[in-house]
Amino acid sequence: MLLLLSVAVLVEAADVRVGGGHSYGGSHRSSGGSRFGSGQGGSDGRAIGVLIEVLARLFLWLPWPLKIVMIVVIIAVLLRQMDSGSQVSYSSHRGWLPSGGSGVSLVSPRLPRSIGSRARLLDPAFSEVLFLERAVMLVNRLFEASSSPKDLESLAPFADAEVVAELLRRTGGAQVKGVVVGQVTPISVATETRPDAAADDAPWLVIRVQLRLNRHVQGEGGDDTWYSHEEWSFARAIGGPPSDDASIDRFGCVGCGSPVERDALGRCAHCGTSLLPGATDWCVRSVSVLEEESRGPLLTSDAPELGTEGRTAKDPGVDAAMEQLLPGSGGEAFEARARSIFLNLQQAWSARDLLAMRPFETDALWQAHRFWVEEYQRQGLRNVVDDVTISNLELCRVQRDGAHLSVTCRIHASGIDRTVDERTQRVVCGDPSLPRRFTEYWTFVKHADAMGATDMTRCPSCGAPISVTQAGACTYCQTKVTLGRFDWVASRIEQDEEIVPD
């Protein structure tokens, strides 16, 4: 009887897709970090949760001998799962779930590893903030150019020939309209000598990262979206020109800024600067696809909030690091700025106002938001998040990375989150009357010597009313105001399920 009841409950629950946050399969909020997948796992978790609830009710009716037997069986199953290496987490509404589910994790989560200190031992000019920004922009640019051999040729200084050939093969000539890079996890840092290098050539700093991304493709058969988990290897010559935040989104000659045009020796035809891959800027050495599948952008689907009640991942000694790097009122100024950015971005997201987002985001994060805003517009939808409030802001990581400071915090918030069909004004996703609780990990960066802006409505350089181009420059004085040159800006947003358990 218990088996038949459980099956009936499972069938009923499995047909319902509940909850939702911004997913790489689609859905809500201005989280460029976002969620990977179409949300189907939420139905499985819901079904398991309902089954656990049925078992709990049955437990109350059983005589004590059978209760003891039931407890022993549950403990044995859990111990077997743990011994087999699978992580287990608990949620009050979904019961015991495999790792990746929602709720309070039984294992401590951790933030993605930081590679800055190790990399600077090999190359003192290394900046992790600038590297991650450049890497994301480079991934985007290579995919967007992958349908055209001519466009890829213009990126020759930034990717080995084998990588270019592989990208052409993967896309098959289909136009990549947009790429959203989610979690970027550094795997290793090392030095390497190119096989064809001269004796006096500087070694390369090689960094391997794993990343998850979605690319939106327009082909002859229509539009499609591909999710993938990949490993990319980036390299550049140690001791080369220092990275410059003003050129994060530029892909020309480092020496003179002109479009790439190489002579027979691989030098810039205009100024003679070497344009060999990795000589003066980061280049992609290799790409390995770990997982890849087609997933349409389901902007009207709901996926459950995963991990909202889970433990917060934070570095040991984070409070001491804050006091050391942002002494006095620095911590209070950061929190005020972080809260203001969070709320301003939610408002701009609901209005689909990309230029209103621009002053408060780095290039890479803004590119991700641009993709989602344009995708909503293409489908005739608008995602609106109203009445947003922040209940808590937890400090997770504070570090100095060369000339930049970065702070990661977990933001606990709630808001009325729904998606509206602009043609009919019908709510197609979300509940317009019920606030939705969610938590996200936001990373903010700024130059270490930036004094901080006093007025978010004016350019911190010339004082004119804030008006920023898509490139992040003030429309009045042309000064680039992003990447923290004057004050904190958001650089990365990660969902709870992207934070890896120890």
Overall average pLDDT of the 72-94 stretch:
47
Q: What is the pLDDT of residue 303?
A: 67
DSSP assignment letter at 434: S
Higher-scoring residue by pLDDT: 251, 29: 251
| Mean pLDDT for the chain overall | 76
Interval 151-171: pLDDT, tens = 888 888 899 989 988 888 888
- List the end-to-end C-alpha distance of the chain, in Å, as a whole number: 40
Overall average pLDDT of the 84-90 stretch:
33
* 476 has pLDDT over 60: yes
Domain boundaries, the chain: 2-19+39-108, 116-294, 318-501
Cα–Cα distance for residue pair 429/448, rounded to 1 Å: 42
DSSP assignment letter at 47: H
Most confident of 141-145, 223-227, 290-294, 337-341: 337-341
Given 3.10.450.240, 3.30.465.10, 3.50.30.30, 3.30.499.10, which CATH number is that of 318-501? Answer: 3.10.450.240
Q: What is the pLDDT of residue 210?
A: 92
Cα dist. 96→92, 103, 302, 331, 496 in Å? 9, 9, 21, 38, 17
116-294 and 318-501 have identical folds:
yes
Q: What is the pLDDT of residue 25?
A: 41
Cα dist. 189→119, 161, 196, 234, 341 in Å? 6, 22, 21, 10, 33
* Residues above pLDDT 90, as percent of the chain: 23
* Residues above pLDDT 70, as percent of the chain: 72
Q: What is the pLDDT of residue 171?
A: 82
Banded pLDDT at 304 (limits 50, 70, 90): low
* 92 has pLDDT over 60: no
Banded pLDDT at 500 (limits 50, 70, 90): low
Higher-scoring residue by pLDDT: 501, 54: 54
Higher-scoring residue by pLDDT: 182, 236: 236
Residues with Cβ within 8 Å of 4's Cβ and at least 6 positions away in sequence, in order, are none
CA 392 to chain centre: 21
Higher-scoring residue by pLDDT: 209, 297: 209
* 453 has pLDDT over 70: no
Q: What is the pLDDT of residue 341?
A: 94
Given 3.40.30, 1.10.1740, 3.10.450, 1.20.1270, which CATH number is that of 116-294? Answer: 3.10.450
Q: What is the pLDDT of residue 115?
A: 86
Overall average pLDDT of the 467-494 stretch:
75
* Nearest by Cα to 169 from 260, 261, 289: 289
Residues with Cβ within 8 Å of 467's Cβ and at least 6 positions away in sequence, in order, are 355, 459, 474, 475, 476
Banded pLDDT at 264 (limits 50, 70, 90): confident
Higher-scoring residue by pLDDT: 430, 477: 430
Print burial letters for 213-246: b (CB count within 10 Å at least 16), e (below 16): bbbbbeeeeeeebbbbbbebbbbbbeebeebebe
Interval 269-280: pLDDT, tens = 888 888 788 888
Interval 34-70: pLDDT, tens = 333 333 333 344 444 445 656 666 677 777 777 777 7
Cα dist. 442→361, 412, 490 in Å? 11, 11, 7
| Residue-by-residue DSSP string for 293-359 | EE----TT------STTSPPP--TTHHHHHHHHSTTTHHHHHHHHHHHHHHHHHHHHHHT-HHHHGG
* 86 has pLDDT over 50: no
* 356 has pLDDT over 80: yes
Please tell me the pTM assigned to this model: 0.73
* 89 has pLDDT over 70: no
Interval 206-222: pLDDT, tens = 999 998 888 888 877 77
Q: What is the pLDDT of residue 369?
A: 87
Cα–Cα distance for residue pair 452/337, rounded to 1 Å: 9
